[in-house]
A and B are shown apart, each in its own frame.
Chain A
Amino acid sequence: MELLVASGVGVMTATGVYLLLRARTFPVIIGLALLSYAVNIFLFATGRLTTNLPPVISSTATAYTDPLPQALVLTAIVISFGMTAVIVVLALRAYLEAGTDEVDVGSVDTAEGERPGGSGGSGAGGDQA
């Protein structure tokens, strides 16, 4: 089980980081979502992986699973869900106003100049740094 969870977290993080570096809003949002899933599972694992154990200590229980990471994950899920919703709306607004879906740091300075790729062309900006 450890291998499965660990590789799950690893693959999702790697995919998320890769998509984040694509610098286009849609892949970036998917990447952030994947990253937050990876983090949620990782947080679960910090309480150690156990199955079929109660999350409370009682006089009859011989062992228990740590309830705190579960509470943390719940908080993290709520926050990351809200954040994803915010950035989806924001990305749509930015796309509609600027006519391009690039997440480009330098674009503020060159806002008045037309980009060579034109507005929103999906294949044009493939080889930018």
Chain B
Amino acid sequence: MNHWLIVPIALPALLAPFIVLAMRHDLLLQRVFSLAGTIALLAVAIALTAQAATGPAQLYELGNWQAPFGIVLVLDRLSALMVLLTSLLAVVVAIYAVTSEWDTRGRHFHALFQFQLMGINGAFLTGDVFNLFVFFEVLLIASYGLMLHGGGAARMKAGVQYVVVNLAGSTLFLIAVGTIYGVTGTLNMADLAVKVPLVPAGDQAILRVGGLLLLVVFAVKAALVPIHFWLPGTYANAPAPVAALFAVMTKVGAYSILRFFTLVFGEDAGDSAWLAADWLLPAALVTLIVGSVGVLGAKELARLVCFSVVASMGTLLTAIALFTPAATVAALFYLIHSTFATAALFLLADQISERRGGAGGRLITAPRFAQTGLLAAMFFLAAIAMAGMPPMTGFLGKLMILDSARDANSMATIWTIILVTSLISIVGFARAGSVVFWKSASLPEPKQVASARPALPIAAAGMMLAAMIGLALFASPVTAYLETAAAELYSPNGYIQTVLGPKAVAEQY
């Protein structure tokens, strides 16, 4: 067994209590260990991705218990990619939190941050549905703490809503898991893939209810209409580094939908094949519309970014809902891009709001602030990336999605909605940018321009922009990797054989 598989979970899991217990009074030590931990995590994630890129899926049996009975971790190309994405984001967020001194506004930022990483990595690696629930809870509990970091009345109120919505979501998750267990007798995802086609016709309805309830749960995480309403309030009120980290949390929902509904309810699932597709596509398209209208209507910079997150989740889930290998490649490419773009926008919005004094993030004209030119240029780059304009990766991603939707029945609808909402987003971002940067420039010079603030936090946002440019430059090898990852998803026999041994698939056919 390759013990490196558990390191992305074990490392933050051990580091977090160590930070709480041994160095809770020493912020400098916390920062050093937290940064070192995330960098080590990134190194491990790169090594794991390199391994996954060359070989078949790898299995890690916790406690050496065999697959349908024990809990397993599975590393295939998709989960390796997600872990890599998370750890890359984590390094940038950690740097931002330290340099912008967000971590001094409350206690235990770094410990909660590590717990959050543990939950996210665990959710990506696990091969068991109930274990997925547990890791969801781990990442949620940590996110409650992070979201409330720094306190304040507005944040508290938004926090209560966030916790209530997610507790209701967890309840639904348990009901779905129980329903599926009741008819299949297993919770291991690979074993479920084998058992689901064998479910008798009389139990099919119950199975489908369970599957669709699970879709609702993942849709809550992925902020799909009509259960997206918690996202703008939560993310807009969360501390900026936390909101940037949450960029990958919506992706946990998207990843779970992709993993579960290709593996368990994929082509071989008999009567329940492609269970999610009929529901997901319309919901995703409506999400896209709601998100981009929100971008146009937002009165505050952070809320504008939140709605652009909703819109990007709509685009991503539209591509996932097509459930074809080509569309999934496009979806995964867009997923990487939108994580970077979201994080960059949240960090920039925070830097801009900090500098505008009393005006904060509100979209009103305010006196000029320090480093306007640099921030304006970076906001421009991030905004065109998010809206999907060339030359940034958002354009490539949307182009791939449009191309992959060409053969779909609903091609006309998908193309119209994606293109029109892109235009609406561009208008929304342009309006925000011109109010914040141009109109303020035409105001009379204030008596004293606010003194320049440290540039290091801006560098963290710049790293996200650089990552996007890197993604655009290396689009071809990345796409080749994603094509193999998507091919793995749509022929799940390799995954099932890895988990259950070669016999399981032979029995089925």
Are A and B co-members of a single complex?
yes
B248 to chain A, nearest CB (A): 22
A56 within 8 A of B: no
B164 near A87 with CB under 8 A, answer yes
Q: Point out the residues of chain A lying under 8 angstroms from B157, CB to CB.
A: 94, 98, 104, 107-108, 111
Q: A39-B174, A105-B233 are in contact. Are A82 and B158 (CB under 8 A)?
A: no
Chain A binding surface SS class: helix
B246 to chain A, nearest CB (A): 16
Q: Point out the residues of chain B lying under 8 angstroms from A25, CB to CB.
A: 160
A39 near B171 with CB under 8 A, answer yes
Query: Who on chain B is nearest to A102 by CB?
Result: B157
Q: Point out the residues of chain A lying under 8 angstroms from B179, CB to CB.
A: 46
A14 to chain B, nearest CB (A): 13
Using an 8 Å CB-CB cutoff, how does the interface string of A52-71 with B read, 1 for contact, 0 for none? Answer: 00000000000000001100
A68 near B159 with CB under 8 A, answer no
B161 to chain A, nearest CB (A): 6
Q: How far is the CA of A93 from the CA of B164 in the complex (A)?
A: 15
B178 near A93 with CB under 8 A, answer no
Q: How far is the CA of A106 from the CA of B156 in the complex (A)?
A: 14
B163 near A90 with CB under 8 A, answer yes
Interface centre among B130, B134, B236 (most CB of A within 10 A): B130
Q: How far is the CA of A20 from the CA of B211 in the complex (A)?
A: 24
Q: Point out the residues of chain B lying under 8 angstroms from A91, CB to CB.
A: 160
Q: A32-B171, A111-B154 are in contact. Are A103 and B161 (CB under 8 A)?
A: yes
Q: Point out the residues of chain B lying under 8 angstroms from A97, CB to CB.
A: 151-153, 156
B171 near A94 with CB under 8 A, answer no
B348 to chain A, nearest CB (A): 21
| Contact residues on B (Cβ < 8 Å of other chain), bracket | 35 or more
Q: Which of B134, B163, B236 contacts A75 (CB 8 A)?
A: B134
B47 to chain A, nearest CB (A): 32
Query: Who on chain A is nearest to B174 by CB?
Result: A39
B181 within 8 A of A: yes
A79 within 8 A of B: yes
Q: Which of A43, A79, A98 contacts B170 (CB 8 A)?
A: A79
B282 to chain A, nearest CB (A): 23
B416 to chain A, nearest CB (A): 30
Q: How far is the CA of A32 from the CA of B151 in the complex (A)?
A: 24
A108 to chain B, nearest CB (A): 5
Q: Which of B152, B161, B170, B187 contacts A105 (CB 8 A)?
A: B161
Using an 8 Å CB-CB cutoff, how does the interface string of B150-192 with A read, 1 for contact, 0 for none? Answer: 0111101111110110011011001101110110000100000
Query: Who on chain A is nearest to B131 by CB?
Result: A75
A contacts with B, residue count (CB < 8 A): 35
A90 near B159 with CB under 8 A, answer yes
Q: Point out the residues of chain B lying under 8 angstroms from A83, CB to CB.
A: 137, 141, 163, 167, 170
B229 near A94 with CB under 8 A, answer no
Q: Point out the residues of chain B lying under 8 angstroms from A20, CB to CB.
A: 164, 168
B317 to chain A, nearest CB (A): 22
A35 near B168 with CB under 8 A, answer yes
A43 near B178 with CB under 8 A, answer yes
Q: Which of B171, B182, B187, B299 contacts A35 (CB 8 A)?
A: B171
Q: How far is the CA of A36 from the CA of B167 in the complex (A)?
A: 9
Query: Who on chain B is nearest to A101 by CB?
Result: B160
A86 within 8 A of B: yes
B181 near A69 with CB under 8 A, answer yes
Q: Point out the residues of chain A lying under 8 angstroms from B160, CB to CB.
A: 25, 87, 90-91, 94, 103
Q: For window 365-401 of chain B, which residues contact chain A by CB distance below 8 Å?
A: none
A16 to chain B, nearest CB (A): 8
Q: A46-B181, A108-B237 are in contact. Are A82 and B174 (CB under 8 A)?
A: no
Using an 8 Å CB-CB cutoff, how does the interface string of A13-37 with B read, 1 for contact, 0 for none? Answer: 0000000100001001000100110
Q: Point out the residues of chain B lying under 8 angstroms from A93, CB to CB.
A: 151, 156
B485 within 8 A of A: no
A24 to chain B, nearest CB (A): 11
Q: Point out the residues of chain B lying under 8 angstroms from A94, CB to CB.
A: 153, 156-157, 159-160
B195 to chain A, nearest CB (A): 14
A72 within 8 A of B: yes
Q: For window 170-223 of chain B, which residues contact chain A by CB distance below 8 Å?
A: 170-171, 174-175, 177-179, 181-182, 187
A42 near B178 with CB under 8 A, answer yes
A42 to chain B, nearest CB (A): 5
Q: How far is the CA of A86 from the CA of B130 in the complex (A)?
A: 22
Q: How far is the CA of A80 from the CA of B171 in the complex (A)?
A: 9
A5 within 8 A of B: no
Query: Who on chain A is nearest to B159 by CB?
Result: A90
Q: How far is the CA of A104 from the CA of B154 in the complex (A)?
A: 11
A-side residues, CB < 8 A to B, are 20, 25, 28, 32, 35-36, 39, 42-43, 45-46, 68-69, 72, 75-76, 79-80, 82-83, 86-87, 90-91, 93-94, 97-98, 103-105, 107-109, 111
Supply 16 further A-B pairs (C-beta < 8 A) apart from A80-B167, A90-B163, A103-B164: A32-B167, A42-B178, A43-B178, A68-B187, A69-B178, A72-B178, A79-B170, A83-B170, A94-B156, A103-B161, A104-B157, A105-B161, A105-B230, A107-B157, A111-B153, A111-B157
What are some 21 contacts across the A-B interface (CB < 8 A)? A32-B164, A39-B178, A42-B175, A42-B178, A72-B130, A75-B130, A79-B134, A80-B171, A82-B141, A83-B137, A83-B141, A83-B167, A87-B160, A90-B156, A93-B151, A93-B156, A105-B229, A107-B157, A108-B158, A108-B237, A111-B153
